[in-house]
Amino acid sequence: MGFLVCGIDPGLGAMGYAVIDATPQRVRIVDTGVCRTDPKLSLPDRLAQLDADVTSLFDEHRPNVVAVEKLYAHYKHPRTAILMGHARGIILCAAGRMGVEVADLSATHVKRCLTGNGHASKENVQRAIQVTLGLDEAPQSPDVADALAIALCYAGNRSQALTESGSA
């Protein structure tokens, strides 16, 4: 087993995750999915549901690092940013409880890293994931594609840093 990176695209309604095993020579997908919360539940109950899912994910895979998208607030959608902030808080708290390193990556950095364009569309990210990982088809879920992109970007940056420092 190489270096396990858990990429997370935070969201209260749908949180995409991807666990990859990354070495300088290869990347292998270990697990992907989407954790969903019931919108009919109260906010505290949804956060508890998300916490249980994230804790279970970390318990199962024991990642070396959790790479998570930074909070982005668009003035037209402040409520979305607030709900994403709640979800990020749960993810960071679960990682902290388990003593797992956390890396914050901006969405534009991840998109630029993968596609060369910091404002790439969801479809472009999905196609870039397909090409980068040599998949037969692109991930159908944009949440999973984003989580894979976050994990791959972190792994690529880490691999490049190790190579430059002579540690690889």
Residue type for 76, please? Answer: K
> What are the counts of helices (DSSP H) followed by strands (DSSP E) for the chain?
5, 5
- Give 37's contacts (C-beta < 8 A, 6+ positions apart): 12, 13, 46, 49, 50
Residue pair 6/65 in contact (Cβ under 8 Å)? The answer is yes
What is the 8-class DSSP label of residue 13? S
What is the rounded CA–CA span in Å between residue 34 and residue 74?
23
Active site positions, annotated: 9, 69, 143
